[in-house]
């Protein structure tokens, strides 16, 4: 049985997948490993190129999504440690050993990219990381990184929580923290895509990603989302009541509405927190 399984979800990556596999083979020359490429019903020669380069190819019957391919790869994994990485060449194979060097002490080790360069994409990632850090009360350095090493048996317990799309890194990170599992971020070198275009569109997908993160945050720590909103409405109601009392000597309908909204949102948060706890109880942590 290999010590490490490298799981690579791939969709139309014939220009990149061969070079990536060769790079992994060189970087892990002294390691017992296996490369699993999950071909997500690519319309090009991704599967053929991956197989010829020496990877074991798993074929999805039709296009299911990046997260679904990761789940398929984890179900087929046999090694104790699984390394998850993208097929587009943005993750350097030379950094795999750095992830593996820390995995004995942590349940998951994540490669964190450098967002110091001022770009719209980096700015969006900083917003995501800041919000996730607030929700989890843990410093999230790269919420959307698809480059990580994880203990296979632990990751498999969270498969039912993972979505089929691109938001699986956010979900599994928050799930581990919610379950009390340990994670560590280490800086890695990020590369530009070796060929082709990114499948993530900044403006079209930016709002969708933010909504996904809010949904994920609500799933794992709902009170961290509902409580500030409830306090906002309560504070607005109190301020409006003081204003109307001082100037009009009465308690208006708007004040009642704001106070009622704060109570309703708080109750929804408490109910959501109980549902979240029941959902997490399904996981053998």
pLDDT tens-digit map of 199-225: 555 555 556 667 777 777 787 889 988
For the ranges 59-73, 143-157, 266-280, which has the lowest average pLDDT?
266-280
Look at residues 167, 168, 174, 169 and name the one whose alpha carbon lies nearest to residue 136. Answer: 174
Structure tokens at 280: 């997490």
How large a percentage of the chain has pLDDT more than 70? 89
Higher pLDDT, 143 or 192: 143
The HSE-up count of residue 216 (CA atoms within 13 Å, CB side) is: 31
Stronger pLDDT, 284 or 109, i.e. the higher one: 109
For residue 126, pLDDT beyond 90: no
Instruction: State pLDDT tens for residues 226-237.
Output: 999 999 999 999
- d(CA 244, CA 242) in angstroms, rounded, equals 6
Joined together, the tokens standing for residue 275 give: 């549902």
Instruction: Name the residue among 4, 17, 9 with its Cα closest to residue 166.
Output: 9
């Amino acid at each position: 049985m290999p010590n490490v399984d490298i799981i690579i979800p791939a969709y139309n990556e014939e220009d990149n997948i061969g070079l990536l596999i060769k790079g992994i083979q060189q970087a892990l020359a002294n390691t017992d490993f296996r490369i699993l490429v999950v071909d997500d019903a690519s319309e090009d020669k991704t599967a053929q190129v991956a197989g010829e380069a020496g990877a074991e190819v798993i074929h999805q019957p039709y296009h299911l999504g990046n997260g679904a391919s990761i789940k398929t790869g984890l179900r087929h994994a046999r090694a104790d440690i699984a390394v998850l990485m993208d097929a587009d060449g943005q993750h350097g194979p030379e950094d795999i050993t750095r992830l593996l060097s820390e995995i004995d002490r942590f349940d998951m080790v994540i490669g964190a990219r450098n967002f110091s360069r001022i770009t719209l994409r980096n700015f969006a990632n900083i917003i995501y990381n800041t919000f996730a850090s607030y929700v989890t009360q843990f410093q999230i350095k790269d919420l959307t990184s698809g480059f990580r090493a994880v203990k296979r048996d632990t990751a498999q317990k969270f498969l039912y929580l993972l979505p089929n799309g691109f938001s699986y890194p956010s979900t599994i990170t928050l799930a581990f923290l919610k379950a009390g599992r340990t994670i560590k971020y280490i800086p890695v070198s990020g590369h530009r895509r070796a060929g082709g275009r990114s499948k993530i569109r900044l403006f079209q997908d930016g709002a969708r990603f933010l909504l996904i993160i809010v949904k994920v945050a609500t799933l794992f720590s709902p009170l961290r989302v509902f409580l500030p909103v409830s306090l906002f409405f309560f504070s607005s109601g109190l301020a409006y009541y003081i204003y109307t009392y001082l100037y009009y000597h009465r308690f208006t309908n708007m004040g009642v509405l704001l106070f009622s909204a704060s109570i309703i949102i708080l109750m929804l948060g408490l109910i959501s927190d109980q549902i979240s706890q029941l959902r997490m109880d399904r996981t053998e942590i």
